[in-house]
Amino acid sequence: AQTVTQSQPEMSVQEAETVTLSCTYDTSESDYYLFWYKQPPSRQMILVIRQEAYKQQNATENRFSVNFQKAAKSFSLKISDSQLGDAAMYFCASENQAGTALIFGKGTTLSVSS
Amino acid sequence: DTGVSQDPRHKITKRGQNVTFRCDPISEHNRLYWYRQTLGQGPEFLTYFQNEAQLEKSRLLSDRFSAERPKGSFSTLEIQRTEQGDSAMYLCASSLNRGAEAFFGQGTRLTVV
């Protein structure tokens, strides 16, 4: 079965600093998709960034970028110039083989201090 | 389109009662998912619809749980004979294609007392 592991239950960062959230996954597929989702307190989950496994280039979205290491099955999220609004729970997810479900990690709670 | 909406937002029920939740996905999305999330955990997949067909169900979905998506539009998730262990946030999401962004609703928080 596919698994996604986030080994950091909590992380903290100061405003304007950079933080990296870790994620490893396990899949036997060669073509798959990886995601980072953000869930602010009491608010709905939203997509932060998405990576297609067949693309070598790491995805970037403004202050958010990933370090995708396919051989190591690692997919970390880097947040640059952290802002107070970045405080949330962050979930790493991979799509299952059939494309019918997302498999989520347990999440990392990110706190941002001024 | 205002995104994925779920109703109700909160539900408190007594053990043994039946409850039904509704999800209205983004209108052009043919893929609809239900997840369950407990406090401090990641969402766990429950079931998947492509249009009106329920194509996948998790082993988490016991026979007390049933989901429908008539005419491929809104979906309902019913839990019969609720148990305290059913207390969780139930999330609905929809997407357009495999690998595409899934849009989530705000969830229905179920408390079984």
Looking at chain A, which runs of residues are DSSP E strands?
Answer: 3-5, 10-14, 19-21, 24-26, 33-39, 46-52, 60-61, 64-69, 74-79, 88-95, 102-104, 108-113
What is the pLDDT confidence band of residue A19, given thresholds at 50, 70 and 90? very high
Give pLDDT tens digits for A55-71.
889 999 999 999 999 99
**Nearest neighbour of B56 by CB, restricted to A95, A101, A104:** A101
Residues 29-48 of A with CB under 8 A from B: 33, 35, 37, 43-47
Average pLDDT over residues A21-39: 93
Q: What is the pLDDT of residue B80?
A: 98
Q: Are A91 and A33 in contact (CB under 8 A)?
A: no
Number of other CB atoms surrounding residue A109 within 10 Å:
16
Alpha carbons A92 and A24: distance in angstroms, whole number: 9
Task: Say if residues B76 and B90 touch (Cβ distance below 8 Å).
Answer: no
Phi, psi of B16 (to 5 degrees): 95, -15
Amino acid at B34: W
In angstroms, the separation between the Cα of residue A16 and the nearest Cα of chain B is 27
pLDDT at A42 over 60: yes
Mean pLDDT in order along chain B per 10 residues (113 residues): 91 98 96 95 96 93 94 95 97 95 97 98
Contacts of B62 (CB under 8 A, 6+ apart): none
Which pLDDT value is given to residue B1?
A: 55
CA–CA separation, A58 and A48 (whole Å):
14
**CA-based torsion, A48, A59, B2, B73: positive or negative:** negative
| Contact between chains at B43 and A98 (C-beta distance less than 8 A) | no
**pLDDT average, residue stretch A81-108:** 95
pLDDT digits (tens, 9 = 90+) for A67-83: 999 999 999 999 999 99
- Select the residue of A44, A47, A106 nearest B105 (Cβ to Cβ): A44
Q: Does A99 touch chain B (CB under 8 A)?
A: yes
pLDDT band at A35 (very low <50, low <70, confident <90, very high): very high
Give the C-alpha separation, B95 to B104, whole Å: 9
Q: Provide the mean pLDDT of chain A.
A: 95
Percent of chain A with pLDDT over 70: 100
